[in-house]
Chain A
Amino acid sequence: MKIRRVLVGTLTILVGNKLRSGLTILGIVIGVAAVIAMLSVGQGAQNSITSSISSIGTNLLFLSAGSGARFGGAGGGGTVIVRNIRPLTMSDAQALMDPYQAPAILAVAPILQGGNISASATNGQSTTTTIYGVTSDYFSMRAETLSEGAIFSDQEVNIHARVAVIGPDLATTLFGQTTGLTGQVLRINGQTFTIIGVLQSKGGSALGSSDNQAIIPITTARDRVVQRAGNYVDTIYIQATSAATVTDASTEISNIMRMRHHVAVGAEDFSIFNQQDLANTASSIIGVLTVFLGGIAAISLLVGGIGIMNIMLVSVTERTREIGLRKAVGARNRDIMVQFLVESLFLSLLGGVMGILLGWLIALAIGRIASASGTSLIPAVSLNAILLATLFSAAVGLFFGIYPARRAAGLEPVEALRYE
């Protein structure tokens, strides 16, 4: 009964002062909305990057020449300057396939890569694209699926066949369609290739998306498209047997490569990137950014809280006589305190709820804008963010409400009644 009375009284006051209440909670609304929008867009970005990293394939490691920063590979950090870097070769790839020295490795795919290479169709359409020269294992490692046709076989790799599997975006650019292209002729770098398959789309923004690529046998690529000396390769993709063996695989790669390149621990002339570490690094960067931006947004919550305190102080002054009267008819200090606290709590919680809705809308709008500009970003409004915002706004209401409420409660009834 008492609680209901206090709530009804609070509502009466706040509804009676609609404009003032509205303006007061605006600060909280904006603060909470900003926090929610930041957190959910950040979460969405994290999800999108994580999923695009895992869409590269599963349990992958990337081996490249040079001692760049090592993402959690076996061995120490690469602070030593390494000279005379030996490039990776087909033989390195071969050696990594040794099931005795590298039991944790399931598959190996050496890659030759060429960017900005001209591609044209017989209908006269032309564009530039990225060419991947790969072995047939590449497709399963990258979890590539075809919307039509087939991938090339080991046999076709061996005979330097002039065949290509193309991504759907490239197909659309050149042919205006993604179906019925098998058997069509494609010119890459002036050389004719027969299209034998079209890849299923992986989505426009996916990291390392193959939607706009042409994939050809590594042998053919070396001959005709991407000139490389000897049997050098650009990158070697390695797939571990399972998620649990990724670290083992990394150690095995390091051991084999150190032996083959005759380098000591700490002086590696190659780098191993672990897909999981890549994902972790990316999401931790975004996490830090999200917390940072969320923190900035939280400052506006603080400002909103000060706004509430300000208005509550005005309200205490305005209602001094009312406080005096309430005390005269039996309100204890605690009753007055509760009344004013409930008001500020109610204001801030109302602001919190409206802020959550507004923040949600902003997040949705950002998602729309992102997808309209070709980036798939689905903002994720998490329950945690909502709880956090609600708790935070309630805490703001309590914290900034306590001072005015104490002031109201501490008024002397006689003086309050005489206040003009």
Chain B
Amino acid sequence: MDDIVIRAEALTKVYRMGEVEVQALRGISMEVKRGEVVAITGPSGSGKSTLMSILGCLDRPTSGEYILDGENVAGLTDDQLASIRNRKIGFVFQSFNLLQRVSALVNVELPLSYANRPDEGKGRAAEALREVGLENRMKHRPAELSGGEQQRVAVARALVNEPAILLADEPTGNLDSKVGQEIMDLLLKLNHESNTTLIIITHDPRIASQAQRTILIRDGLVERNTQ
């Protein structure tokens, strides 16, 4: 039981757009073991982004159970969810989402500044940047870095709080295939070395194929769950 990091039970999500109700998720159940590499794929509109939002505690399911790292997060308040995101989840986005005005180091420190453990900051952030191979770019701003380097900064930022799961939403979507593969290699290496659970949302089969398991979402339901 202990090695299950994500347990989702019959997750549904209904968006209300005026009079129309959109069923984005229609009962998704899944489990992810600690240290697993899982790809979530599906065509656009399938609900994979919504699933990623709920797994990332950015949004709440309309119904269903979601137990993350032993904590039931379905009924938590905004602040409690923020704290869960801070402690247990690292995000890597397609468009990097770095703060443009500050250095790579400050970007990586950002999650630490919202944590309840002050002052470990600089050392840990620098260490994370070393892990992603950017020890010589710490003082650079995002605009001074290549796309691959920016995504590495984002990975370092996702890692800095030592999260239970790493959620990567199309992490290679804005990169050419060579650099994208480098990022994938980095993510897999980090997964291998520190046993961080890695969940990749992608529609790129080449990326998905590198995961240990692929969950295909279609019309708000799990269509296939393949090893």
| Residues of A bordering B, CB below 8 Å | 1-2, 5, 9, 12-13, 16, 321-322, 324-335, 412-414, 417
21 contacts between A and B (CB under 8 A): A1-B113, A2-B113, A5-B113, A322-B97, A324-B97, A325-B93, A327-B58, A328-B97, A329-B86, A329-B91, A330-B85, A330-B111, A330-B161, A331-B82, A331-B114, A333-B78, A333-B79, A335-B114, A413-B58, A417-B58, A417-B97
- Do A330 and B97 form a contact, CB below 8 Å, given A1-B118, A417-B58? no
Q: How far is the CB of B56 from chain A (nearest CB, A)?
A: 7
A1 surroundings in chain B (CB, below 8 A): 113, 118-119, 121
A187 to B79, CA, bound (A): 93
A335 to B113, CA, bound (A): 10
A327 surroundings in chain B (CB, below 8 A): 58, 82, 85
A329 touches B114 (CB 8 A): yes
- Do A330 and B83 form a contact, CB below 8 Å, given A322-B99, A412-B59? yes
B101 touches A12 (CB 8 A): yes
B56 surroundings in chain A (CB, below 8 A): 328
B119 touches A330 (CB 8 A): no
Q: Which residue of B lies closest to A327 (CB)?
A: B82
Q: How far is the CB of B165 from chain A (nearest CB, A)?
A: 13
- Do A2 and B118 form a contact, CB below 8 Å, given A16-B101, A329-B110? yes
Q: Which residue of B lies closest to A5 (CB)?
A: B113
- Do A330 and B82 form a contact, CB below 8 Å, given A2-B113, A12-B101, A321-B97? yes
B118 surroundings in chain A (CB, below 8 A): 1-2
B152 surroundings in chain A (CB, below 8 A): none
The 5 closest A-B pairs by CB, nearest first: A330-B86, A330-B114, A329-B111, A1-B118, A332-B82
Q: How far is the CB of A268 from chain B (nearest CB, A)?
A: 76
A2 to B121, CA, bound (A): 11
A102 to B181, CA, bound (A): 108
Q: How far is the CB of A202 from chain B (nearest CB, A)?
A: 62
A332 to B114, CA, bound (A): 8
B115 at the interface (CB under 8 A from A): yes
A412 surroundings in chain B (CB, below 8 A): 59
B93's partner among A2, A330, A331, A417 (CB-CB below 8 A) is: A417
Taking A322-B99, A325-B97 as given, write out 12 further A-B residue pairs in contact, using a Cβ cutoff of 8 Å, ordered by the A residue number. A5-B113, A16-B101, A325-B93, A327-B85, A328-B85, A330-B111, A330-B161, A332-B79, A332-B82, A333-B79, A335-B114, A414-B58
